[in-house]
Every structure is written in structure tokens, then in C-alpha cells.
Structure 1
Amino acid sequence: MAGVDHAALVGMLDRLKLTAIRDQLDTLLDEAARSDMTLREALAFLVGREIARRDERRIAMASKMAQFPFVRELDGFEFDAQPSLDPRQVRDLAECRWVAHGDTILLLGPPGTGKTHLAVALGREAIRRNYSVQFVTAATLVAMLAKAHADGALDKQLALLSRPKLLIIDELGYLPFEANAAHLFFQLVSRRYERGSILLTSNRSVGEWGEVFGDPVVATAILDRLLHHSTVITIRGDSYRLREKRRSGLLQKAGASIREAETTTS
């Protein structure tokens, strides 16, 4: 084997589909030599790079399939700006034991407080741990269920939405549910109950969900299943977007303009 040339080695790596090692072969071998690694250490180093590349591709593909609206990580969340949040609790949730158990997380709070950021970040952590994830807004979800119901394909749609280990439903409560939507949502929650996890964000407290769904009885049945094995996190803080505008002085300027217009009118 001492006489194996570069091309032959690349060919063997191709056959084994070790593309990360193949693409960085000279660099990796040089680094191993400079570090004076033993053969065992060098092998672990090369295999580690291969695994890292495959994990990167898996995460990228799974994130694309999850249909996240943007990329967010927990490291980028400003916990100091939301003192009602316990960073240790959130980081514990990032271990995803709740996903393994099929539990539910409810993230509640006013608009702009970082609920979607946390939802996406926790979804990406689940993907890193090899769980399948799907992200959808509540409005889009209800539209999908309503269309499937009208087309006689509700059971098929419910089956598709039951496949991901984690289903993230964002922005529940921003738009009122139409007639029959609450019943369709209930069927989805029932289908996933104790089988797959749900992470749900809402700007409304659970006490207001009767208004959100337009049917207090169905809302109670939905909450009964969601809250059975759940973690409820309520964020009490200012909107990030409004805080940035305050910092820039835009809100003060807007307020001054309104007062000036009122004075002129009167």
C-alpha cells in the first residue's frame, strides 16, 4: 500500500462515498502530519470530518423540508431583553427530550417578543438530533385542512401532518378561525396526541382560545390534549421591533408628528 498514488486513493474514497475526505484529502493529511497524530488518531480525525460534512448536509436538507421562514439559533436570542424567560429552561428544552416523548410546548406572549425565533431555533435543535420537523403558520395550516376537507382528502392531509416528529404551528390567534376550522384543528391535535410533538406559538392566553376558535367546547377539548403533557412558557416583555424603533427615535418622532397634527387640526 505504500505505493498508492493520489489518484488511486481518491478513487477508493469515491467508491466508499467518503466525499468530505476526498475533497479535502491533501489538507487533512497535512494537518494530521503537522499534529504528529498516531494512525488511530488520524483515522478518527478523517472520519470525524466525514461525519461533520454529512451532518451539515442532513441538517440543511431537513431544514429546507421543514420550511422554516428564516434561520434562527438560540445563541442569537437576546435573553437579557426578555427577563421573563428562564434561559436554563429554554436550553434544557433544546436537548429535545420533550420531542422524544411526544410532548407539547406552548410559547405565549405579545407580538414581537421572540416566539417565532425560539420556535425555529428549537426546531433546528430537533433536526440536529435527527427528528423530522415541519413548520407552518396557523393560518396556512387551517387553509390546508379546509381545502383537504372540501376535496375529500382530509384523512390523507392529516396523515401527512402526523408524519413529522415535531410540528411547529406559528401565530395562532392572529387571525380568527372560520366556521368548522376549529373542528379540523381538533382532528389534527387528536391525531398527533401522545404520538408526535407540537410546538405552538400564540399571542393569546389559553383562556382566550374559546374566542380564537369560535367554539369554547372545541377549544377546551383541544387544550385538554395539548396541555396534558406540556410546557407552557409565557413571555412578558416589549416587542423587539418596537424597542429598536425607540432606540432610533422613530417612535418619538412619530408621536411628535401626531401631536403636531392634532394641534393644527384643533
Structure 2
Amino acid sequence: MNAPNIDAARLTMALNELRLPAIKALWPRFAEQADKEGWSAARLLSALVEHEIAERERRRIERHLAEARLLPGKTLQTFDFAAVPMVSKAHISAITAGDSWIGKGDNILLFGPPGVGKSHLASAIGLALVENGYRVLFARTTDLVQKLQQARRDLALEGAIAKLDKFHLLILDDIAYVTKDQAETSVLFELISARYERRSMLITANQAFGAWNTIFPDPAMTLAAVDRLVHHASIFELNVESYRRRAAEKAKGPGRPPQKALPADIAAD
């Protein structure tokens, strides 16, 4: 390629118009290399197009990570699978491919007491899925429910739920903290019903299904919500000791003597 014969300014304008920023930035260097090494026109074009595609993918992931609102620093690499032996790292890695369940609107349910890593694992799965091309939204259930309540007051609930359809996976963290209030639980139920067999959900909860009557005031609504969630779901129970409690015990250090129990007559006061 004979660079002096090219109208660089016009080419730059054309690439701007075509929205090809990577090619615009790279073509002078690639053209120079092609001249030196005797590349064919096809090889030069292929190299530029491949870089443009890679840059678009990078920007897409960057946008989707920003909108996902995932917990910072929570990855599968930093999750302590050894502390939760009932959760298979291989199984979770397979899940993050997404192709065997997200397209069918299947769900993932993570149960366990506070401090065992449910939110970490949920966010890490979300991160891996974004990197694999899916759109994800992570939200505290109470926060999202409040937004949906406001949408209902504004007569826009149907539209608000429909907007969530752009996310292949909706992560609802700490569902058990939703208050037993008819207004809150009804919008939560409508969200679950709207996504049933269409769009996937990942839900974390401190309580097993048997205690969900504290979330939904109506037993029939509880049964219907649970039925929709478990119909196509992978369920993980993280029944281990809280890692926060383990960390606190470890922080005490070996030199600090254990606290003695109070005598029964004092403890009773």
C-alpha cells in the first residue's frame, strides 16, 4: 500500500461515519507493517477487521459490566470452594457457560445461613456470564421491590417488569429480607410470574422454602411462587459455618484465652 496516495483525513472521516474506531486508530500502523512485510490486501483487511471485532466485544462487556451492578471483587477465583464442599467448582463452572439453561429460563437458588458466601457466589456467576456474552442485573431484593412498588404507584409496573426482560439473568439477593407486606410481596410475585419459563433468575435466601411464609402473607401465593421458581431450577444449599464468624475467631489470635462462661446465677440476672 502506498500511504502517500491515501487521503488520510477523508479516510478518518469515513471510518468515523462507519463507527469503526479500532480500524481508524490502527490502520496507519498496520498499513506500514503491510508495506514492509508484503501483506496481501486480504490479510491487511482481515487483521483490521479482527481487531475491530475484538474492540467491540471489549466495549460491550465493559458496558454490560457497568449495568450489571455486581459486587466488586467477587469472582469465582476468589470464592473459597474448599469451605463449601457441597458446591462443586466444576458444576458452577459449567453453569457459567449459560447455554444449557439461560435460553430456557431456568433458575438457580442458593440457600444457606448468613455469611457463607451466597452473595459472593451469585455475583461471581453473574460476572462469568457477562464475560460469556449475557446481560445480568444484580440487585438487593428489597431495593428492586421498592422500585417496582413505585412503578405500580405510577401505573407503570408492567413496563418496569418488561424492561427487566433485557437481562438474561436477574439476581435477587437476600429475598428473605422482603417484609411481609401485601404491596411488596405482590410486586415480587408478579416479577417471578412474569419471568417464569422465559427469563432466568438467581435467588439467594437465608431461609429454606418451608420458612417462606414470612415473605408472602398468603400461603397460596407462597406455594405458587415456590412452584414457579423450582420448576426448572438448580438448587444449592450452602450449609456451613459463617466465614465471617470463622474470620472473627481467627482474628482473636492464639494468645487470647477463650472467654469463660458466667456462673449460672449471674447469667440468669
Decide: shared fold, TM above 0.5. yes
With structure 1 as the length reference, what TM-score do the two structures score?
Answer: 0.81
Partner of 1:146: 149
Question: Separation in 2 of the partners of 1:46 and 1:254?
Answer: 66
Q: State the one-letter code of the partner of 1:8.
A: A
Partner of 2:92: 90
1:5 and 1:57, CA in 2 relative to 1: closer, same or farther beyond 3 A? Answer: farther
Q: Given the alignment of the two structures, is residue 225 of structure 1 paired with residue 222 of structure 2, yes or no? A: no
Q: 1:128 aligns with which of 131, 143, 155?
A: 131
Secondary structure of the 2:221 match is helix
Q: Given the alignment of the two structures, is residue 156 of structure 1 paired with residue 149 of structure 2, yes or no? A: no
TM-superposition CA deviations, 1:13-64 (whole Å, max 9, x none) = 5555443354466777899999x89656665554443333222211111121
- In the TM superposition, 1:225-244 aligns within 5 A as 225-244=228-247
Unmatched tracts of structure 2, length 5 or more: none
Partner of 1:205: 208
The answer to whether the 8 A contact 1:245-1:251 is kept is no
Q: State the one-letter code of the partner of 1:135.
A: F
Unmatched tracts of structure 1, length 5 or more: none
Deviation, 1:246, is 2.6
1:247 and 1:24, CA in 2 relative to 1: closer, same or farther beyond 3 A? Answer: farther
1:225 and 1:33, CA in 2 relative to 1: closer, same or farther beyond 3 A? Answer: farther
Q: State the one-letter code of the partner of 2:62.
A: A
Question: Separation in 1 of the partners of 2:147 and 2:198?
Answer: 21
Q: 1:188 aligns with which of 188, 191, 212?
A: 191
Q: State the one-letter code of the partner of 2:2.
A: A
Question: Separation in 2 of the partners of 1:135 and 1:51?
Answer: 27
Size of the aligned set, in residue pairs, is 261
The answer to whether the 8 A contact 1:182-1:215 is kept is no
Deviation, 1:228, is 1.0
Q: Given the alignment of the two structures, is residue 171 of structure 1 paired with residue 174 of structure 2, yes or no? A: yes
Deviation, 1:120, is 1.6
The answer to whether the 8 A contact 1:210-1:217 is kept is no
Q: 1:64 aligns with which of 47, 66, 80?
A: 66
1:182 and 1:37, CA in 2 relative to 1: closer, same or farther beyond 3 A? Answer: farther
The answer to whether the 8 A contact 1:136-1:169 is kept is yes
Question: Separation in 2 of the partners of 1:170 and 1:159?
Answer: 20
1:22 and 1:161, CA in 2 relative to 1: closer, same or farther beyond 3 A? Answer: closer
Q: Alignment identity in percent?
A: 32
Question: Separation in 1 of the partners of 2:255 and 2:30?
Answer: 57
Partner of 2:2: 2
- Which of the two has higher C-alpha Rg? 2
| Segment of structure 1 superposing worse, 127-136 or 9-18 | 9-18
